[in-house]
Structure 1
Amino acid sequence: MTYLEISGMTCGSCAAHVKEALETVPGVRAVLVSYPEGRAEVSTESGTLPGALIAAVDGLGYKATLADALLANNRTGLPDTVRKSMGSADNRARGDSDRRLNIAVIGSGAAAMAASLKAVEQGARVTLIERGTIGGTCVNIGCVPSKIMIRAAHVAHLRQKSPFDVGVGATMPAIDRNKLLAQQQARVDELRHAKYESILEGNPAITVLHGEARFKGEHALAVRLPDGGEREVTFDRCLVATGANPAIPPIPGLKGTPYWTSTEALVSDAVPQRLAVIGSSVVALELAQAFARLGSKVTVFARSTLFSQEDPAIGEALTAAFRAEGIEVLEHTQTRQVAHVSGEFVLTTARGELRADKLLIATGRAPNTRGLALDAAGVTVTAQGAIRVDEGMRTSTPHIYAAGDCTDQPQLVYVAAAAGTRAAINMMGADSALDLRAMPAVVFTDPQVATVGYSEAQAHHEGIESDSRLLTLDNVPRALANFDTRGFIKLVAAADDGRLLGVQAVAPEAGELIQTAALAIRNRMTVQELADQLFPYLTMVEGLKLAAQTFNKDVTQLSCCAG
């Protein structure tokens, strides 16, 4: 017999829904659910795992945990005949039904941690294998340190230049990169310990194994240990969550030079006088602007335009903002050769040569799948080495899952965490999918770039006839009050019914408004319904309402707060 404690039930109807869900789990013989007791008793066939039962309940939105067997034996209000019937079935299955699923997780970043915690919550045992530092990219060498550095650079920028210099005296800040770096690393260490290391140390159902894993077959891993030895780890299910590394383009002369990737740039204890950046998307532009604001003379080399895969208005707005700050943006410029001579980089392009003290390569990230011997487990990858997964994070081998930057899904930490959670739920026998149709994304430049849903081009590619409006920020009261009207908010709607399909925004703090847009898209709101909502005055998110109003009104002729 398996006993579950269930929270979230509010009536007898809830109990009936839980009972129906549990009865659909393969191997379940009989189910009794008590709403007043907040408990379920489930008789199962041999081999039925408790995690599958928990996943079935969680899938309804309730919370299920394995109950203490002694407490569960005190079952007041349950018919004796039912209790005896379930008990006899339980006796036949005792021993096998309580076997805990063994899950191997390769990696320790957002996807790995989310999956491990969810799997343990649902009754599994986890062996987590990490070859490097616990915590993965985001907390150690990605999101956290980069946003700290970007924020420090923003403060430095405002001290020397702001829209209020007419009345607030500007001053040239003294940059002590060593002290900034120490502050940055201290916060990274703090978060890694609080959100990763201490959680793993305090969870007895998770065993952390340090080493490098490779598949020996469909149910076994060989782990090379730091001391040179090797250990075999067998599993019922496996999650690959090995992340990604900076991709290095094959530029002649680049190999062997002391170029930076984002990893080296973020831990540099000095600000270079001249910095060249090869790349034109998120990492390249965030770090280019940060170094420029800390004192570097920055040149960005873009093979096409900035953010060439996004709506063209985004790249145009960022290019204008960068150039206004003194950052040189060389569009349609490809580096033909790199040399490192007498302590400086020499970059050769069709425009001529450019010299720099440091060179940052930020041209994307490649999945960490080499060395895993995925073919030994029958796991399929793309030409770029990304693991192919379905909406439930299943690979081509049914009991092997993958999540995060090593897959063909978007390389965003919150996507990785959500994918890891769903992978764990599915490992335990349920069926949970990750819906990315309203996935928000933010670039932490200044102004920020935030997007969700379809752009005009994407809608056209999908055969959707659309209508769009672009509202410049000189129509948004918050931007006017800030004396900073750089950017725009653009809405894309379905031409037939006005349903909101996508939003692209370039604005200071654009990341703070995009989730509202995501919720509007998720709830299939029309632009008129969005325009009719109450938005607090003098907030940037009010720009969504104003942009929606432009579909039917001339917002320049509206009074403040006009509804």
Structure 2
Amino acid sequence: MIRLKITGMTCEHCAQTVKKALESVEGVREAKVYFPQGYAEVEIEKEVPVNDLTEAVRRSGYGAEEIKESPEVYIPKEGVYDLFILGGGSAGFAAAIKASDLGAKVLIAEDNIIGGTCLNRGCVPSKYLIEGANTFYTPLRNPFPGIELEEGSIDIKEVIEAKEGLLEGLRKEKYWNVLEAYPQIDYRDCRGKFLGEGKALVGKEEISFGKAVITTGSRPGIPPIKNLHRVRYYTSDDIFNIDHLPEHLIVIGGGAIGLELGQAFLRMGSDVTIVEALPDIAMGEEPELRAKLRELLKREGMNILIGATVSEVREEGEEIVLEVEHRGERRIIRGTDLLVATGRAPNTRDIGLEVVSVKTNSRGFIETNEFMQTSNPNIYAAGDCVGKVMLVTVAAMEGGIAAENALLGNRRSMDYLSVPHAIFTDPELAGVGLKEKEAEEKGIKVDVRVLEFSKVPRAALSFRTDGLIKMIVEKDSEKILGVHILAPHGAELIHKAVLLVRYGLTVDEVIQTVDVYPTLSESIKLCAQTFKKDVSKLSCCAQ
């Protein structure tokens, strides 16, 4: 067999033209040409010069060259879907696009709205609400002398209604249009469930598949609080459809979702109380940064209780009443509305995992190896249902890797260390790489610096000096292991740090770079300089 790489094909008609050209060469028994892969296999009856084959392809209007090694292509199978994907969010679509690029025939089954959590009930609507809240809040925080801004008004119903038009446009652009561009992807708006090895029920139809990727996502986790099921409360699934501005919003949970939405409603005019059971808000972040964020939120008017356990919830008339144990005392908190933001739970029930021997952990998240492969070697999983790093960016990356490994064999794994994350409060809290404690637990000797944003000229001239940047480096090599930022636009600034961590740059290499001046991104270089000098004694841009 002779294998050829074919260039210039844009459709199946092109593949048929190339096939005809190859089979016209004397000595060729049969040619199989695969358009999406740009690949051809030529069966010969007697010795055929490769030049005769490539010349025949050239005369037909395409390019060809021999492939000496085994190609990284997938050859589709007859009569089955090459890849069955359970879930139509970011992980599912990333898996489908990768599989389609490899030439596979794909089926996606999604029984909820297309686009998954991030687009419909997560990142996008929450950031929309946050942007609106920050715009409304601008006159109230104006720091510039000589400038007066009029306080505005807010119509929460109109704000929420406008969101729907935005989401509908993004669903069309990012998902429905993708399906039109990839004809090998079959999308079914119905429930999917495994029936057995290589078999699944999609709606009422039984289908066969070669490999599968589970991308069923997650839902809000509901804590076992007494009488919680008897009262009206919101989660991140439905808070974005609220039809009124709460007079007093109580938020159970001081993680990213609770803090972001709590500050948004605070800035729109609600009283807000955060109740967090753990010792601090944003417990996954560096202690210096989360303490500073807590200070700033309290200064803005947010009431925050940490180390507080909700023992019971009830309704009294129009009020929501929480009984809370806080520092050994029983406290009563009264509000008008309640948001439960206590983490996420996987959507892994009733999809037939047990009949295909896919294992989950005690919390229901699917267990995978570094290749996103489950306990069933023919089934992979990606995104929130895996629960490793619950970010839409990670879900999409995992989905693509899972699809590629499922079709071509296990060859790619995820690099979680250089994945950035952010909490979209104001200031924004973002990080990438190891935290100080994580590095020490790994036995790495580290050196650490924390720079206040009052030392950053752009922050000073904008009167936005409430912030910190923390850098963790390996002590001997001065290789940068982690960068963590609490600052205006911290979610944007962190991307500069991603490259430092991913490619193992050192403190000196960062110091030798040149930043635009004055910018907030200069803060990363200034923090690196604190390992060598007192930056308060440096002139502008000096090294």
> TM-score under structure 1 normalisation?
0.83
Amino acid at match of 1:481: L
Distance of 1:252 and 1:344 partners within structure 2: 17
1:5–1:392: structure 2 CA closer, same or farther, 3 Å change rule? farther
Look up the match of 1:5. Answer: 6
Look up the match of 1:548. Answer: 528
Mapping for residues 159-198 of structure 1, pairs under 5 Å = 159-164=139-144, 166-198=145-177
Secondary structure at 1:140's aligned position in 2?
helix
* 1:78 to partner: Cα distance: 3.7
1:103–1:475: structure 2 CA closer, same or farther, 3 Å change rule? same
Distance of 2:289 and 2:33 partners within structure 1: 50
Distance of 1:466 and 1:49 partners within structure 2: 56
* 1:150 to partner: Cα distance: 0.3
Look up the match of 2:37. Answer: 65
Residue 558 (str. 1) matches residue 532 (str. 2) = no
Out of 378, 396, 415, the position equivalent to 2:394 is 415
Deviations 1:504-534 (A, max 9, x none): 1100101111111110111111112112211
* 1:219 to partner: Cα distance: 1.1
Count of aligned residue pairs for this structure pair:
491
Q: Is the 8 A contact 2:3 2:40 kept in 1?
A: no
Secondary structure at 2:127's aligned position in 1?
helix
Look up the match of 2:14. Answer: none
Distance of 1:540 and 1:77 partners within structure 2: 62
Look up the match of 2:301. Answer: 326
Mapping for residues 125-274 of structure 1, pairs under 5 Å = 125-164=105-144, 166-223=145-202, 225=203, 230-274=204-248
Residue 99 (str. 1) matches residue 77 (str. 2) = yes
Q: Is the 8 A contact 1:49 1:98 kept in 2?
A: no
Distance of 1:546 and 1:98 partners within structure 2: 54
Q: Is the 8 A contact 2:433 2:481 kept in 1?
A: yes
Distance of 2:460 and 2:266 partners within structure 1: 26
Out of 474, 478, 481, the position equivalent to 2:458 is 478
Q: Is the 8 A contact 2:215 2:385 kept in 1?
A: yes
Look up the match of 1:455. Answer: 435
1:337–1:65: structure 2 CA closer, same or farther, 3 Å change rule? same
Look up the match of 1:306. Answer: 281
Distance of 1:366 and 1:313 partners within structure 2: 29
Look up the match of 1:73. Answer: none
Quote the RMSD (CA, aligned, Å): 2.5
Secondary structure at 1:284's aligned position in 2?
helix
Runs of 4+ in 1 over 6 A off after TM superposition: 81-84
Q: Is the 8 A contact 2:82 2:104 kept in 1?
A: yes
**Unpaired runs of 5+ in structure 1?**
8-45, 55-63, 71-75, 87-95
Deviations 1:24-52 (A, max 9, x none): xxxxxxxxxxxxxxxxxxxxxx9x997xx
1:280–1:98: structure 2 CA closer, same or farther, 3 Å change rule? closer
Look up the match of 1:342. Answer: 317
Out of 490, 514, 517, the position equivalent to 1:510 is 490
Q: Is the 8 A contact 2:84 2:106 kept in 1?
A: yes
Distance of 1:81 and 1:365 partners within structure 2: 57
Distance of 1:405 and 1:143 partners within structure 2: 14
Q: Is the 8 A contact 2:76 2:103 kept in 1?
A: no
* 1:301 to partner: Cα distance: 0.5
Q: Is the 8 A contact 1:380 1:388 kept in 2?
A: yes
Amino acid at match of 1:425: E
Distance of 1:342 and 1:333 partners within structure 2: 25
Sequence identity percentage: 36
Amino acid at match of 1:345: I
1:496–1:221: structure 2 CA closer, same or farther, 3 Å change rule? same
1:467–1:236: structure 2 CA closer, same or farther, 3 Å change rule? same
Residue 119 (str. 1) matches residue 119 (str. 2) = no
Distance of 1:176 and 1:149 partners within structure 2: 12
Distance of 1:81 and 1:193 partners within structure 2: 43
